[in-house]
Amino acid sequence: MNRRQVMGAGIGAGAAALTVNMGQAETRFRDLPEAASTDSPYTQVPPRPTTGIEYNPVVTLNGWSLPYRMNGNVKEFHLVAEPVERIMADGMIARLWGYNGQSTGPTIEAIEGERVRIYVTNRLPEHTSVHWHGLILPSGMDGVSGLSHPGIPSGKTFVYEFDLVKSGTFMYHPHADEMVQMAMGMMGLFIVHPRDPAFMPVDRDFAFLLAAYDIDPGTYIPRVAEMTNFNLWTFNSRIFPDIDPLVVNQGDRVRVRVGNLTMTNHPVHMHGYDFEVTCTDGGWVRPEARWPEVSIDIPVGAMRAYEFDADHLGDWAIHCHKSHHTMNAMGHELPTIIGADKSRVTDMVRRHQPGYMSMGTAGMADMGEMSMEIPENTIPMMTGWGPHGPLEMGGMFSVVKVREGIAPDDYSDPGWYENPPGTQAWEWTGELPEHASNDSPETILTPRGGKRLG
Amino acid sequence: MGALLLLTACADTATMSKARDERAGFATVAGISRQATGAEAAWLQTPAERQAHAQRVRAIVQGKTIGAEQAVQVALLNNPGLQASYADLGMSAADLWETALGPVPSVGISVSGLVSGDVSRSVEGTVASSILDMVTKKSRTRAADLEFRQAQLAAAGETLALAHETRRTWIEAVGAFEAAGLVGRAQGAADAASELAAQLGETGALSRADQAREHVFTAELAAEQAEARLEAQLAKEKLVRLLGLWGTDTDFYVPDSLPALPGNVPNRANIERLALENRVDLAAGRLEMEAVAARYRLNGQTRMLSDAEVGAGVEIEREDGETERSPVVDVAFSIPVYDTSGLISRRGKLEYQRSANSLAQSAINARSEARSAYTAVTGKHQIALHWRDQVLPLRREIDEQALLSYNGMLTSTFELLNDAREGLESQLSAAEAKRDYWLAEADATAAIWGGASDNGEDE
């Protein structure tokens, strides 16, 4: 995928619109802008703007940016709130609510100082609204149904219109029947690029939202009343192993913007680098206020953007550091079977369930290796294969792939990284050196200079 | 195939060779009974007969797994109570036999399986039809013959009642063993959970309380299993009594499970007619009327009234030869009406009325019992089918999905076993429903031929 391949008709219409004069525009644009839609769950890289102010569009992981048109000097978008089917991973479809054919919804991208007019058509069975999280706007545009304005009834279209007074990383989501509509997947990114292309420039700008769902194995629709026991932890409503990689050319300046619309915090950890948070949903972070990190905790209802220089070649994991969040649906009531001798039990159980396999006596990695039949529409708890075996991951996990010679707009998967000779852990087959061991729980003071073996 | 139980003439050939010819009905039956060689003589009168008979019974039962028809066969051959009834028959027949007829009847039967739906091929059907065949034969020595035929019917009634009870007891015993087997399987699932709990106790993954919860469930189920096994043994012991067995002859088995449910119940919309034609007690009632008529020397029957007509109050005693009929039923049970104009004693009239009305009542009851039996057998069949075709497939689906869920590490082995145990509970209910169907089937047979205790409503 690259910028030249994608974003067809909608953008074309928008670009064409720029050529008409104001008088014609008023006549022509009495109608709604076309409501673009996509049924693809893959990353669609937006093209760079060809007119107007230059900016570097964000790459929404397994998502896309909403086409727009210019109506005079107003940038117009058309969001459609509607039921969607989201392919969360190959072999699993979620029946969600989203925008313009997908959940999460398309990313809205605009430029600081622009005026935006966003038509929101409600094709849901109940009223909805859109809250523009983090944006500074008139109270009546804030999208809290009943408080800011009436909810958008089913079948109706409302218009939100406001000036983008600052650049930054924002998001949108309903503020009507909010718990249900967000549990059903309604959310999207709202990126405002700086008017000055020289301000905080990056070569690659990735963005995704953290969303959690509770979809019981064998089912398709989230349990909306869930508060804590979610079982699917997603980047943009997508789970490992089918979250697209973050493809980076060596030496690129890279920004990753992450928003959290789940009900718990997520320490997003990226391997191979240290980095700094440069932006929150409150705005850009002054350099003197940043500190180095390797895990960034994304609080609930907050956004963080961090930046790094992609100097280190390799395949680097990026994931939530809560280990349950790099698992797909699993049973949380399972007893620990480690160390149990199940040989007798297995025979006894097989009398009732001939297909019964003993698992878990040595840990749960059997799961990643055995591909046993599991309930329909369910991705195994731990899954995925890499160049060196099973990854035994799920949920919020992807890979940052830093390579030499990646073309500027090329985001296609370069495959697995080949470790240069001598730079990969290897098996020791010689005699083992003596190893230290300790069976005392007491604090043991190490003598200065360390303690030598042998 | 086909069970044959025959009242046949074991002729006392030294005295009455002629009698055999006179009992043409017996000769016919004897012809059919050739297939049943070796399984006849049921009225045991000599030590040699008893010994030969004991050997035959032993050959059927000892070390064998016996089916329903075999159980009925052995009961009819071997039940001491039935032998006593036959002795009554012998005594009442004695007069007749001494003067005219000669041979005393005995019972012969052959082996068959439990034939679903074909009532004419059950032991009971063969018994009843053979008897009816005989009692409708005209006799030259009317009065003595009537009494003898009544005695035959009484013996036949006893025979059918024993057959019915034996069949029900066999079904209950087999059903009890089937249930005990299923409880045993549930126990096996619980044992597995208990074993796993013990293992997890050793590794430190399960608290003593949770281990005890698994163990206590297994222990309780063990008590239930013991109960179920005991019930099965006692049910079999009841069968042993009916079969009149003792000593090493009790060393027989019944199957582990009842035969599968038939796909459909044969349409027995004609069950009322079958009952009216075949019920031994109705035949006995007719004979009773004949006997009354004979006793008071009534002149031949003038016409026939249906049971419904009698029930509806149509005059039984016709003196003027006129007839009034109200045909209200499709199937009529004919009650002979005799010319009572010659009756002068009040006692005779009352006795005649009593037997006519009681016969009408018996016929009306027989109709209702037949309908009840048919309703019960179709209803029980539907229920058993529902368990088999609706509930059990869902349980299988649950078991399949439980395994997938376990495979996905979504649920534990404990939950898998729990689903299996619940599935076995459904199988237990399905087995009970199947047993109830077979009991209803046995009752339907009794409703047609007679022999049901308590007017065909055994439960």
Confidence check: pLDDT of B173 > 90: yes
Pair of tokens at residue B432: 């009970």
Question: Which tens digits make up the pLDDT trace of A261-302?
Answer: 999 999 999 999 999 999 999 999 999 999 999 999 999 999
CATH number of B17-103+136-259: 1.20.1600.10
Q: List the one residue out of A120, A121, A177, A118 whose CA is nearest residue A144.
A: A177
Amino acid B114: pLDDT: 36
Q: B36-62: buried (b, 16+ CB within 10 Å) or exposed (e) per residue? A: beebbbbbbeeeeeeeebeebbbebbe
In 3D space, the residue among B289, B296, B295 whose CA is nearest the CA of residue B358 turns out to be: B289
ipTM attached to this prediction: 0.83
pLDDT at residue number A111: 97
Output the pLDDT for position A421: 96
Number of CB atoms found within 10 A of residue A276's CB = 16
Q: B171: closest CA among B452, B433, B385?
A: B433
Query: Structure pTM?
Result: 0.79
The pLDDT value recorded for residue A102 is 96
Q: Which of A329, A335, A380 sits opposite B206 (nearest CB)?
A: A335
What's residue A30's pLDDT? Answer: 67
The whole-number pLDDT of residue B351 equals: 81
pLDDT one-digit tens code per residue, B217-233:
999 999 999 999 999 99
Cα-to-chain-centroid distance, residue A395? 10
- Which of chain B's residues have a Cβ under 8 Å away from the Cβ of A352? 185, 188-189, 192, 417, 420
Q: What share of chain A has pLDDT > 90, as a percent?
A: 79
Alpha-carbon gap, residue B360 to B367, rounded angstroms: 11
Q: How confident is the model at residue B295 (pLDDT cuts 50, 70, 90)?
A: confident
Residue B457: per-residue pLDDT: 40
Distance from CA of A448 to the nearest CA of B (A): 40
Residue B152 has pLDDT above 50, yes or no: yes
Average pLDDT over residues A189-217: 97
- Judged against a pLDDT cut of 70, whether residue A22 lies above it is answered with no
How, if at all, do strands A246-249 and A275-280 pair? unpaired
Q: Which two tokens stand for residue B325?
A: 């009929």
Give the B window 394-433 contacts with A, CB below 8 Å: 399, 401-414, 416-417, 420
Q: Which of A331, A348, A353 sits opposite B410 (nearest CB)?
A: A331
- pLDDT of A16 over the 70 cut: no
Q: Which is more confidently placed, B196 or B354? A: B196
Output B18 or A209, whichever has higher pLDDT: A209
Q: Per-residue pLDDT for B416 more than 50?
A: yes
- Residues A333, A339, A340, A342: is their CA dihedral positive or negative? positive
- The answer, yes or no, to whether residue B138 has pLDDT greater than 90, is no
Shortest distance, CA A331 to any CA of chain B (angstroms)? 4
Under a CB-based contact definition with an 8 Å cutoff, are residues A246 and A61 in contact?
Answer: yes
Average pLDDT across chain B, whole number = 74
Look at A353 and B420 and tell me if their CB atoms are within 8 Å. Answer: yes
Q: What is the 3-state secondary structure (H, E, C) of B372-393?
A: HHHHHHHHHHHHHHHHHHHHHH
Question: Looking at residues B386-414, what average pLDDT do you find?
Answer: 94
pLDDT band at B103 (very low <50, low <70, confident <90, very high): very low
Please give the pLDDT value at position A428. Answer: 93
Per-residue pLDDT at B310: 64
- Expressed in percent and rounded to 5, the helix, strand and coil fractions of chain A are 10, 35, 55
Smallest CA-to-CA distance from B217 within B427, B414, B430 is with B414
- % of chain A at pLDDT higher than 70: 93
191-220 in A: which are within 8 Å (CB) of B? Answer: 217-218
The whole-angstrom distance between residue B162's C-alpha and the CA centroid of its chain comes to: 8
Beta bridge partners of B334: B306
Asked if A368 is an interface residue toward chain B (Cβ–Cβ < 8 A), one would say no
Q: What is the pLDDT of residues A388-444, one digit of tens each?
A: 999 999 999 999 999 999 999 999 999 999 999 999 999 999 999 888 889 999 999
In chain B, what residues touch A375 (CB-CB under 8 Å)? 401, 404-405, 408, 410
What is the per-residue pLDDT for A356? 92
The 10s digit of each residue's pLDDT in B2-55 is 333 333 333 333 323 323 333 222 222 222 222 222 223 345 567 776 777 778
Residue of B285 and B113 predicted with greater confidence: B285
State residue B360's pLDDT score. Answer: 86
Mutation to test the B interface, candidates A356, A377, A383, most B Cβ within 10 Å: A356
Write out pLDDT tens, residues A314-353.
999 999 999 999 999 988 888 999 999 888 999 999 998 8
Burial status of residue B330 (CB atoms within 10 A of its CB: 0-12, 13-18, 19 or more): exposed
DSSP element (H, E) containing B285: helix B280-295
Q: Which of A39-53, A182-196, A383-397, B344-358 has the lowest mean pLDDT?
A: B344-358
B-chain residues near A91 (CB < 8 A): none
**Of residues B185, B189, B410, nearest to A217 (C-beta):** B410
Task: Name residue A210's beta-bridge partners.
Answer: A235, A260
Look at residue A152 and give its three-state secondary structure: strand
Rounded mean pLDDT, B339-350: 71
pLDDT tens for residues B418-450?
999 999 999 999 999 999 999 999 998 888 887
The predicted structure's pLDDT at residue B57: 82
pLDDT tens column, A75-84? 999 999 999 9
Any CB–CB contact under 8 A between A448 and chain B? no
B206 contacts in A (CB within 8 Å)? Answer: 335
pLDDT in tens, A173-192: 999 999 999 999 999 999 99
Which among A30, A11, A226 is positioned nearest to A119, based on CA atoms?
A30
What DSSP line would sit under B230-259, residue for residue? HHHHHHHHHHHHHHT--GGGG--B--SSPP
- Which chain B residue's Cα is nearest to A368? B408
Looking at per-residue pLDDT, the higher value among B251 and B37 belongs to B251
Q: What is the pLDDT of residues A123-135, one digit of tens each?
A: 999 999 999 999 9
Which residue intervals of chain B bear CATH 1.20.1600.10? Answer: 17-103+136-259
Among chain A residues, the shortest Cα distance to B188 is held by A348
Indicate whether A172 pLDDT > 50.
yes
**Interface probe, candidates B200, B413, B422, B426, chain A, greatest A C-beta count within 10 A:** B413
Query: In angstroms, how far is the first alpha carbon of chain B from the final one?
Result: 31
- Look at residue A28 in the predicted model and tell me its pLDDT: 52
Rounded distance, CA B451 to CA B285, Å? 15
Q: Is the pLDDT assigned to residue A379 strictly greater than 80?
A: yes
